[in-house]
Amino acid sequence: MSAASITKQDAELRIQPLSAHIGAEIHGVDLTRPLSAAQIADIRAALLKWRVVFFREQFLNHEQHIAFSAQFGELTVGHPVFGHVDGHPQIYSISKFRKATRFEGQSLLRPWTGWHTDVTAAVNPPFASILRGVTIPPYGGDTQWTNLVIAYDRLSEPVRRFVDGLRGVHRFAPPAGATGTSAFASAVEQHVLVSEHPLVRVHPETGERALYVSPGFLKHIVGVTPRESQALLELLWEHVTRPEFTVRFKWEAGSIAFWDNRTTAHLAPTDIFDLDFDRQLYRTTLVGDVPVGPDGRASVSIEGSPVGAAAAVALN
């Protein structure tokens, strides 16, 4: 290894924020190579501060993607319901033509439709997700993220006190009014995941409180009437997707997004289905902890198993 390459790899990272509350690009690092302890610490610090961090021109293969991810935690199986890439149990394929997770006939679209935090139906949702762009359309296909900590902070104090004590049931199921494909129905039936989480979770590293209300998975609030649950959830879902809490990312081939799943929700694009271009990304996820609310109560599993490294190993 040349002195020049050592100097470049060990140079201080450059952090470029993209919005007021969430999202930053990180420059000055080569993710195809092992990172130094200082670089890992700097990237993790940026992740905790900006919730989602982005890298450009990082042309990783599957093995390098897995190796980069493993420097920040244990990897889960690609997806606990929909499986993984053949030969790489830690990687999940996200393509335009994913039949298993496509829905048709959705009857009601609302401002929060499609927003979600990854796999919150599990009792220990992933700590983080790392998404790599490979085939990217020349336009369209942007992904958005929102900051659930600032969303909690911007609630009025009486509402914060109220939601601090509430809990909700998260379930892996099609959106209301949607007709899933047979592949989707079969996968969900074979891998049922249902968990009860606090509506506000305390971040295990920073102590911050995040409004943990994944629109794609949270089905109802525990201990209130159905109408009360609907009204409260719609209020909170509308709130967490306020534009000023969000960042929108334009993908390029070689782009990587690395987000803290404990403090964010995100929105996958749907405009790609109106375009003639292919879109292919690959994702790894890192094993997460069991959420804990402000009252100290941990989440509980209602049905299904925790999402952990053991599942990935078993499929290898």
Active site residues: 116, 118, 266, 283
Q: Please report how the helices 3-10 and 37-50 are oriented relative to each other, as an axis angle in degrees rounded to 10.
A: 30
Token pair for residue 130? 């790392």
Determine the Cα angle at 298 with ends 295 and 303, to 5°.
140
Exposure of 178 in the CB half-sphere (CA atoms within 13 A): 17
Give, as one character, the DSSP assignment of residue 307.
Answer: -
The SS3 call for residue 143 is strand
Q: Look at strands 52-55 and 24-27 and give their pairing.
A: parallel
Dist. CA 11–CA 192, nearest whole Å: 46
Closest residue by Cα to residue 15 from 44, 36, 37: 44
Exposure of 171 in the CB half-sphere (CA atoms within 13 A): 12
Chain centroid to Cα 275, Å, comes to 25
Computed over its alpha carbons, how large is the radius of gyration of the chain?
Answer: 19
Give Cβ neighbours of residue 5 (< 8 Å, ≥ 6 apart). none
Beta bridge partners of 14: 27
